[in-house]
C-alpha cells in the first residue's frame, strides 16, 4: 500500500527515536535496557557504580530514583532516597567558598551529616510513611535523640536540598572541640571552646584533623537500622552527578570525593546502603598518588 509523501512526512515528523543523551530520554522508562549492572544494583550486590562519561550511569540512576521507587518499596521493601539531582548541582556551587576551605576530614563529617539528614528528611519525616511509622514512636525518638546529640539541628517541616547543605556546613564548622586563634602581638595562642556536647570519642585520642561525626554515626546508624528493622524496610541513599559538583581536577574535588568514599564504611549495613555513581576517570584520579587507606573496602562492592 502506497502512502503519499505528505502522509510519510507527517509520520516521520511524529516518530520518536529518543534523545541522544540517555539520561534526558523521555522513553527511558519504557525502552530501558536492563544490563548486568542494573541486575547487580537491583539485587543489592554493588554500592559503587563507576563508568566512563556517556556509559549510562545517570540513566541507570534515573531508572531507580524516577521510575522504580514505588516498585522497590512494594516488591522489595526498599526506600529510595537521593541527594544530588539533575540541575541541582548549582546549589553545591553556591557554597564553593566554604567547600574550598575544608579538609578531607571535614568532608567526611559533611557527607555523614548530609546523608543522615537525607534519611531523616526523605524517610522519617516523609508524609508517605507517616502511617507506617506511627506505631514506632520510641524508635523515632531514639533516632532524634542521637540526631540532637550529634549537633544536627532538627527543624520542623520538610527542608530543601539547599537547606540540608547549608545546615550540614554549619554543623561541620562547629564540630571541632576547640578553635586555635593567634591574637595580634606576642601573647601566644589561645583555644576557644565551641560549646558543643562532647564527642563520644575521647579528645586525647584524636588530632585536630580527625573527622568528628563518625563518633556519632554508630548511634545514629544503630537507631535508624532499628527503626527500619521494625517496619521491615531497607533504605538506599543514592548520589550521582558528582563530576558537576566541584571544580574539575581541583584539590577541593579530590578532598570532597575521597571523603565521600571514606563515608561508605558507615553506611554499609543490610538496612542502610549508600549507592554512589562516579566516573571511572575521577575515581582513578582521587585514589592515585598518595594512595587510599582501606581501598579494598571501597572496591569490594564495586560494579564492573
- Number of C-alpha atoms within 13 angstroms, CB side, residue 236? 26
In this prediction, what percent of the chain has a pLDDT beyond 70? Answer: 78
DSSP classification of residue 268:
B
CA distances from 196 to 99, 113, 155, 203, 303 (A): 22, 15, 18, 13, 40
Beta carbons within 10 angstroms of residue 230's beta carbon:
14
Of residues 241 and 10, which shows the higher confidence score?
A: 241
Q: Among 56-60, 66-70, 175-179, which stretch is predicted with the lowest mean pLDDT? A: 175-179
Q: How confident is the model at residue 6 (pLDDT cuts 50, 70, 90)?
A: confident
For the segment 220-225, the average pLDDT, to the nearest whole number, is 94
Strand pairing report for 78-82 and 234-239 = parallel
Coil/strand/helix, residue 233:
coil
Residue with cell 556551587: 93
pLDDT at 200 over 50: no
Q: Would you say the C-alpha torsion 156, 161, 162, 164 has a positive or negative sign?
A: positive
pLDDT at 176 over 90: no
Alpha helices in 180-276 (DSSP H): 214-231, 251-263
Q: Which of 91, 81, 76 is nearest to 61 (CA)?
A: 81
Of residues 84 and 125, which shows the higher confidence score?
A: 125
Write out the H or E segment, with its range, that includes residue 193. strand 190-193
Cα separation of 276 and 50, whole Å? 8
pLDDT score at 246: 87
Record the cell numbers describing residue 171, joined without a space.
Answer: 554543623
Q: How confident is the model at residue 19 (pLDDT cuts 50, 70, 90)?
A: low
Contact 162, 91 (CB under 8 A): yes
Q: How confident is the model at residue 249 (pLDDT cuts 50, 70, 90)?
A: confident
Q: What's the whole-number average pLDDT of the chain?
A: 82
pLDDT at 185 over 60: no
pLDDT at 188 over 50: no
Record the cell numbers describing residue 7, joined without a space.
Answer: 502522509
Contact 281, 52 (CB under 8 A): yes
Of residues 243 and 194, which shows the higher confidence score?
A: 243
Q: Which residues are paired to 80 by β-bridges?
A: 236
pLDDT at 199 over 80: no
Cα separation of 18 and 202, whole Å? 57
pLDDT digits (tens, 9 = 90+) for 271-297: 999 999 999 999 999 988 667 877 888
Chain-centre distance of CA 43, in angstroms?
A: 20
pTM of the model as a whole: 0.81
pLDDT score at 5: 76
Q: Which residues are paired to 49 by β-bridges?
A: 277
Of residues 212 and 111, which shows the higher confidence score?
A: 111
Cα separation of 88 and 76, whole Å? 28
Q: How confident is the model at residue 50 (pLDDT cuts 50, 70, 90)?
A: very high
Amino acid at each position: 500500500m502506497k502512502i503519499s509523501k505528505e502522509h510519510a512526512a507527517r509520520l516521520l515528523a511524529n516518530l520518536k527515536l529518543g534523545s541522544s543523551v540517555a539520561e534526558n530520554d523521555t522513553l527511558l522508562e519504557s525502552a530501558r535496557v536492563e544490563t548486568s549492572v542494573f541486575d547487580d544494583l537491583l539485587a543489592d550486590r554493588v554500592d559503587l557504580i563507576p563508568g566512563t562519561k556517556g556509559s549510562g550511569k545517570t540513566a541507570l540512576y534515573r531508572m531507580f530514583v524516577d521510575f522504580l521507587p514505588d516498585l522497590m518499596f512494594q516488591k522489595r521493601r526498599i526506600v529510595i532516597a537521593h541527594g544530588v539531582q539533575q540541575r541541582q548541582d548549582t546549589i553545591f556551587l553556591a557554597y564553593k567558598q566554604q567547600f574550598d576551605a575544608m579538609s578531607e576530614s571535614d568532608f567526611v563529617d559533611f557527607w555523614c551529616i548530609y546523608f543522615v539528614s537525607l534519611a531523616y528528611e526523605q524517610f522519617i519525616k516523609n508524609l508517605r510513611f507517616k502511617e507506617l511509622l506511627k506505631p514506632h514512636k520510641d524508635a523515632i525518638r531514639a533516632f532524634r535523640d542521637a540526631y540532637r546529640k550529634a549537633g544536627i539541628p532538627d527543624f520542623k517541616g520538610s527542608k530543601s536540598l539547599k537547606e540540608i547543605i547549608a545546615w550540614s556546613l554549619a554543623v561541620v564548622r562547629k564540630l571541632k572541640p576547640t578553635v586555635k586563634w593567634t591574637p595580634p602581638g606576642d601573647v601566644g595562642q589561645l583555644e576557644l571552646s565551641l560549646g558543643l556536647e562532647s564527642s563520644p570519642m575521647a579528645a586525647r585520642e584524636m588530632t585536630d584533623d580527625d573527622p568528628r561525626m563518625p563518633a556519632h554515626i554508630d548511634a545514629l546508624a544503630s537507631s535508624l537500622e532499628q527503626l527500619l528493622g521494625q517496619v521491615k524496610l531497607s533504605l538506599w541513599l543514592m548520589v550521582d552527578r558528582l563530576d558537576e559538583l566541584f571544580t574539575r581536577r581541583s584539590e577541593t574535588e579530590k578532598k570532597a570525593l575521597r571523603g565521600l568514599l571514606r563515608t561508605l564504611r558507615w553506611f554499609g549495613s543490610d538496612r542502610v546502603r549508600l549507592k554512589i555513581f562516579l566516573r571511572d576517570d575521577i575515581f582513578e584520579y582521587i585514589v592515585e598518588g598518595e594512595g587510599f587507606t582501606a581501598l579494598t573496602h571501597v572496591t569490594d562492592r564495586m560494579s564492573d
